[in-house]
Structure formats: C-alpha cells, structure tokens
Chain A
C-alpha cells in the first residue's frame, strides 16, 4: 500500500512537472493569442475526468467499508483490549495467533494516543486512534509470526516516542496450546 502511494504520487507529480516545464518553455514564444474556447473545452474535459475519478475511487475504496469492525464484520474474532496512557500501553494479551481475526478495542486514559501496529519488517500494517472516553474498534488478521511492535502515533507529551509495546505472533495451534 505504501509503495503504491509513493509510486502513484511520484508519477502524477512527475507528469504535472513535465506539463509545467513544457508550458514554461513555450511561454517565450511570441504571437499567441490569449487562451480561447479550445482551452475551455479541454478544461471541462479535465474537470469531468476528475469527477469521474472521484466516483470510481470512492466506490472502489469504500465498499466494503474499510473500518471493518465498525461495519460489524467481527465474526469469531478474538478481542484484545488496549488502553493507552502517558507513556505506556495497557494490553489484555501479549501473545496472539496468526490467521485469526483480532478485534482491538482501543481507548486511552489521559490524552489522545495513536495505536499503530508495525510488522517485523518495520512497516505499519494498520492503526487507529486511542481517545479518552471512546473505544475505537480495529479488526486485523495477522499473517506473519514474529514480533509486532506498537508505537504511539499521536503526539502525547515529552516521552511520546518511548511509548512502545510488543505482540508476539504465533501459529494458531501454538496459541491454543498456550492458552489452555
């Protein structure tokens, strides 16, 4: 997802830069008239294209609703309670099974925090906000075993960057053995 966002941004910005450069080089030619009707036609085409993009992108990214837990797709998920406080995470489980939907119920005790899950390679896989007085629900199914880190992604004071927690992800079978 991150790579897709980066590549797409670079391509679109790059094309935009080329168009600007082209027009900047053409600007020094003499004898053009002020932009006329033809330019206006192109403009409307561009506007329609951008509206069309909005419709397609909205439909394809919001259906199904990305916050699945809120949409009620929790099924037989394992519930993990998370409470953020200055500057630690209070978490109901430390070991979790892979290939099992996990429902994180995330809240905060004092100020806003951000609950972000980093995979063993150091990439964010999902996140939600942790807010006093509210429970944000986050559904995620882990695929890799190993150590996932929780970092706080909402600035919460001078030790914000130290607010870490670790989940150990194990095979489903190992998890049931352990909890029995």
Chain B
C-alpha cells in the first residue's frame, strides 16, 4: 500500500478490489434503504400528527416495512463493517460475501412483495399466531412470502457467519482463543487477538444461535399457515421471537462498533487495546445479550419469576460493557489526543454517546414496576431509536465517511463538522419526542391518534425532516465519491 498522502489509511492486506467494491455496494445500498425507511418513518409520524391521513391498513404495512427494513439493513451494514475490518486479520471469502448479499436481496424482494402486493402487515416481529390470523387483511400466501423472506435473510447470515467462524478458527486455533480466554483466565499475552477479532467472534456465536432460534419459529409459523392444526405454544413462540429479535438487532450494533475500534485510533494515534477488561466485557456481552431477552416479556405474568428477575437484573448489568467499558475507553482515548474532527470522527464519537445514552431509558424500562406503565408505549421506540439512530446509524455513516476520506484525496470540509451537529439534533429530536409521548402513555403501533396524543408529533416530524435532509447529503457525498474508488496497491 502506497497511499501515503492520507494520514487516515490503514493496512488492509487481504482486502481485494472485488471485496472492497462489494463492501462499498453493501454500504451504499444500506444507506439508501435507511434514507427510504426514514421517509417511511416520517410518513408515519405525519399521519400520527393528523397532518396527512393514510389508511390504517396501509399504516401497518408501512410500519412492517419500516421495522423489517431498518432491522434488516442494520444487520446488513453491520455485517459490512465487520467483514471489512475482520478481513485485516483473517482471510474471508468474497464469493460467500456475494452469496450473502444475493440471498439478502432475495429476502428483501420477498418481504416487499409480501407487504405491498400481498398487504401483509403483522409487524416485523410476526408475533405468532398473528401472521395466520389476519382477520381478512392479508392471505396465507403473503404471510408465507414474508416468512420466507426473513428466512432467506437468516440463511444469508448463517452462511456468512460460517465463513467467518471457520476463518477465525483457522487463524486463532479456537473460538475460545479468539475470545481471548487465555488472557482472561491466565493473563497470557501470547497472540492476543485484536478487538475486532474478539468482537467478531462473540457476535458470530450469539447471532448464529439467535438466528437458528428465529429460523425455528419462522418454520413453525410457516407450517401453521398451511396446516392450521399444526400449532405452536404462543408463549414459547413469543419467547423465541423476542430472543431472536433482541439478539439480532443488538448484533447489528455490536458489529458496527468495530468501526469505532478501528477508525478512532487512526485519529488519536492510540491503538484500541485488547485489554483484560475488554476481553471480559465481550465474554460477558456474549452471555448477557442472550440472557436478557425476558425483559420483553415482563408483563406476561405467567412467565416464571426467575426469568423475569433475570431479565431485569441483566438489563441493568448490560449497561456496564457499554458505559464503563466502551464509552469510558473512548473518552480516555480521545482525551488530550489532539485528534482531528471531521465527519467520520464526529459521527463515530457521537455514536458511542447514542449507544450509551439509549441504554439509559432502556434500563429504566427494564424494571418490572416501571415497565407496567411504559411497556408498548412510545417509550419503547424512544429508547431503541436512541441507540439505533444516534448510535448504530451514526456508526454506519461514520464508517462511510471515513471510507470516503480514506480512498479519495478529498479532505473533509468545515460543513462536515456542522453536519454532525445537525445529525445529532435531528436524531435526538426524533428520540426525545418519542420518549415524552411514551411518558404521556401514548401507545406504540397506533395508526390513529386521539387529539390528546398529537402534542409531540409535529416537532417529531420537523426533526425527522432535518435528519432526512442530512442523511441525503451523507448518501450523495458517498455516491459521488464512489465511482473513482479503488484500493491503491
């Protein structure tokens, strides 16, 4: 690599031109879907504001598309980021990456067809047995299409994780070594894997488990569509769906945070270290991300008390790796580092604030007695949009901005710094209006609002518009820079 004019470049020994291009396509597509789905989100807010009126059935279809689209693309872009940086350390197959992308796109087509042709609108969580019991709104075919679409995306991920898992084992010997267990348990400094490898290993394990559980409940749903006498226990299905959903959406953040581990050191000149605390945090995440899911079922009083207690306690403890490990390290690394502030570094630092900040209302809602009055109000979209918009999506655009600086000779402009602030204000505005509405008991997933509920919706629409404008700019800048790109050998 002779790209010496850029202080921000990094060695990417295994990354071929085709691998690089595929990642660029993945990121560009993700950003485009994020933009379109944000417009869908604005449409829902405008409808709730009674500024525009859309038919309730269509509202729920848009809701389903927004949820499935955003969650899917969070996974896609997270996988893109992880693949890109992991390819520094292990050799990954571009063929598999392309197969992954194709299966993913097949899933998207099936899901879009199910929703907008077949009128499927059971929300992305497809809570059993709603897909089969639509009250006449959609048919079994549409529901099957949706289920197969999600399954196709699931298979895409399983394939990718298989390749990643094998590559990691080839290089580090075993998954436990790649999780730095020798460092954790005996302090061994020998061949300690870098943060990216530790994170990728943990995500590969827990998201594989999550997707397998998801696939099982998807197949049960599919069977129920065509053979109504084939029934699944609704409580079991609910547990499996929330286990899968929780693990999958969290995996997208845990994959994307790799961009922070890799890019911020280029700005601060201080490498992100695989310390013992870091390794312990990731092994804890591996367990906690799976064990915490009962916090989605805190109002199912038939659930065993130990499961709900576990959900509450682990919700609290989950804050530790985010706040005391990731956010704390980030602040320590940037402190007096004389780092440069531009679109990439700005968005990446913002993203850790968004992730840590979003965990606060989430943790509060993880308390059974609070959850009793907040569950399924707009408080819930409030906290997850916090760590998805201000956190996860900021990581995605931060990574894309860095990719742009890294590969072209373009220097960031003063406008870029302002753009970070605009993004933060737009994102926080969307989030805070959700949270306030939630505290006012406005239910989530309601197509039609009473007048008393509309107080926040107009502000929300304004902030959403701001966010959409700035994201349009991020995407355009990326697309304009992209054609001239190639890895310089």
Residue numbers of A with Cβ under 8 A of B are 1-6, 8-9, 12-13, 16-17, 19-20, 23-24, 26-32, 34-35, 39-40, 42-43, 46-47, 50-51, 53-54, 57-58, 61-62, 65-67, 69-70, 86-87, 110-112, 114, 116, 118, 122-129, 131-138, 151, 153-162
Q: How far is the CA of A135 from the CA of B300 in the complex (A)?
A: 9
B319 and A50: CB pair below 8 A? yes
Q: How far is the CA of A176 from the CA of B60 in the complex (A)?
A: 44
Q: How far is the CA of A148 from the CA of B370 in the complex (A)?
A: 20
Give the contacting residue for A5; candidates B134, B341, B353, B361; CB below 8 A: B361
Give the contacting residue for A8; candidates B357, B364, B372; CB below 8 A: B364
A159 and B435: CB pair below 8 A? no
Residue numbers of B with Cβ under 8 A of A are 56-57, 60, 121-123, 127, 129-130, 133-135, 137, 233-235, 238, 270, 277, 297, 299-302, 305, 308-309, 312-313, 316-317, 319-320, 323-325, 327-329, 331-339, 341, 349, 353, 356-357, 360-361, 364-365, 367-370, 372-377, 379, 435-436, 438-441, 443-448, 452
A-B contact count (CB 8 A): 233
Which chain B residue shows the least CB distance to A32?
Answer: B336
A136 and B301: CB pair below 8 A? yes
Q: Which residues of A contact B439 (CB under 8 A)?
A: 2-3, 5-6
Name the prevailing secondary structure of the A interface residues: mixed
Q: Which residues of A contact B300 (CB under 8 A)?
A: 128-129, 131, 134, 136
B56 and A158: CB pair below 8 A? yes
Which chain A residue shows the least CB distance to B320?
Answer: A50
Name the prevailing secondary structure of the B interface residues: helix
A66 and B368: CB pair below 8 A? yes
B135 and A158: CB pair below 8 A? yes
Q: How far is the CB of A120 from chain B (nearest CB, A)?
A: 12
A62 and B447: CB pair below 8 A? no
Given known contacts A35-B332, A159-B56, A161-B447, is B235 in contact with A127 (CB within 8 Å)?
Answer: no
Q: Which residues of B contact A39 (CB under 8 A)?
A: 328, 332
Give the contacting residue for B320; candidates A47, A112, A134; CB below 8 A: A47
CB pairs A–B below 8 angstroms (26 shown) = A1-B370, A2-B438, A6-B435, A9-B360, A9-B361, A13-B357, A20-B353, A27-B339, A39-B332, A50-B324, A51-B317, A57-B367, A58-B312, A66-B368, A67-B308, A114-B376, A127-B299, A129-B299, A133-B235, A134-B302, A138-B301, A154-B127, A157-B130, A159-B135, A160-B446, A161-B56
Q: How far is the CA of A110 from the CA of B231 in the complex (A)?
A: 12
A155 and B123: CB pair below 8 A? yes
